[in-house]
Amino acid sequence: MSRLDNSGGRAIIADVNMKSPISEAYRTLRTNIDFSAIDSQIQIIMLTSPGAGEGKSTTTANLATVYAQAEKKVLIIDADLRKPTMHRIFAKTNRWGLTSVLTGQSVSSKVIMETHIAHLDLLTSGPVPPNPSEMLSSRRMSELLDELRSRYDVILMDTPPLLAVTDAQLVATKSDGVILVIDSGKVKRDSALKAKANLELVQARILGAVLNNVERRRKDDSYYYYYGSQD
């Protein structure tokens, strides 16, 4: 069972222990993303992984936190319409959310929620739909993102694994950049390369990869590394 923070959700290390090496690694990731945006705007960032359980949602929550700590106005969108997790991390209801907006049952201003972290808002997935791929690729999704660009400095989108369904590829086409989260001890090289190829197929801008669970010399810690995109 995950340790709980004061909000009742899962502990976000960048929030509860800002001085930890892991938190510092997330700040380094934030800095590297900012430097990659010198010649073009990177406002909507999608996070995904080759397979399930590699830490993409944890990375999304922590990266959003360090952006918010830099006094950026940040929004997390849970675009994993199949197995959403952000409402659990932040201890929020998922009775309404992204799918409520995309189906015209609500508007974004009514379903976006403040979190316990200053400057950080959350748009949960909402009820699981029968047609997630169609919803994510819809014109309404594009219109929603255009609307949110004017309200937030940074928008992070958590999506399903690349090798499981096509959802992440569809969302990548609507994003300014993509971060691939990879579990260093779990994912085989072929799977990582295939995930990268799937993103390149839709001409996504790959900002880099985050290696999760990389052991340090001291066995009591592990953290995330950032690598710039390579040809």
Averages of pLDDT over each 10 residues, the chain, 231 residues: 45 92 93 82 94 91 97 97 96 97 96 97 97 96 97 97 93 96 80 91 93 60 42 34
pLDDT for the residue numbered 152: 98
pLDDT for the residue numbered 228: 42
Burial environment of residue 103 by CB neighbours within 10 A (0 to 12, 13 to 18, 19 or more) = middle
Q: What's the rounded Cα separation, in Å, for the pair 95 and 116?
A: 19
pLDDT for the residue numbered 1: 27
Which amino acid is it at 140? R
Q: Contact 143/104 with Cβ under 8 angstroms? A: no
Phi/psi at 10 (nearest 5 deg)? -75, 145
Q: What is the DSSP letter of 128?
A: P
3-state helix, strand, coil in the chain (%, to 5): 35, 20, 45
Q: Contact 198/163 with Cβ under 8 angstroms? A: yes
Q: What's the rounded Cα separation, in Å, for the pair 43 and 152?
A: 8
Q: How many CB atoms lie within 10 A of CB 197?
A: 10
3-state secondary structure of 20: coil
pLDDT for the residue numbered 215: 62
Instruction: Provide long-range contacts, Cβ within 8 A and 24+ apart, for 35-39.
Output: 36/177, 36/207, 36/208, 36/228
pLDDT for the residue numbered 135: 97
Which amino acid is it at 82? R
pLDDT for the residue numbered 38: 72
Nearest Cα to Cα of residue 162 among 146, 141, 184, 182: 182
pLDDT for the residue numbered 190: 87
Query: Which regions of 31-86 does DSSP assign to beta strands (E)?
Result: 44-48, 74-78
